[in-house]
Structure 1
Amino acid sequence: MWGGGPLAEHFNSLGIHHPDDMSSIVLESYWLRMHDCPIRLDEQVAYYQAWWDRPEDSDMNDLLDTKPSLDCTAQPGADAL
């Protein structure tokens, strides 16, 4: 991703510009796909965009709490273990 190319260009068109963010989205999406979970690409993209758009003096822990979960095994409304 650091050298550009078609995949990097696609991510750039989505508003993702840092290669580490691109790699994270690829790996997280792959994990979700392998576990029959929706990849929720829009949520992943929004998280990384918010990361770069945050004010410098913001608490990063608040943003980390908004990171899309890789756990799709819990049903909505069910108690998490």
Structure 2
Amino acid sequence: MNKAQNLAREDDPRKNYLAYVIEDTITGSPAGAVGCTFYEDLEKVGITYFIGADFRNNGYASEAIKLYRFYLAQRNQQF
């Protein structure tokens, strides 16, 4: 947990993959992850996600990506 918090504070997707847990809305169990990473072949930062097999086809990925984009937009306005 400390390592994840330190990576989030560094906020450098060119250096490390940044990931945040996607929780099941009913149980609160981890359903996957959403974050960003630097794609060296494209020389761009992109959003990446993983959804556990038991949680697929329930809209978790699209909701997580929308919220993550909102989060990134809010952070950019702060700077």
Higher strand share: 2
Higher helix share: 1
Query: What TM-score comes out, normalization by structure 1 length?
Result: 0.32
Q: For the pair shown, which has the larger CA radius of gyration, 1 or 2?
A: 1
Query: What TM-score comes out, normalization by structure 2 length?
Result: 0.33
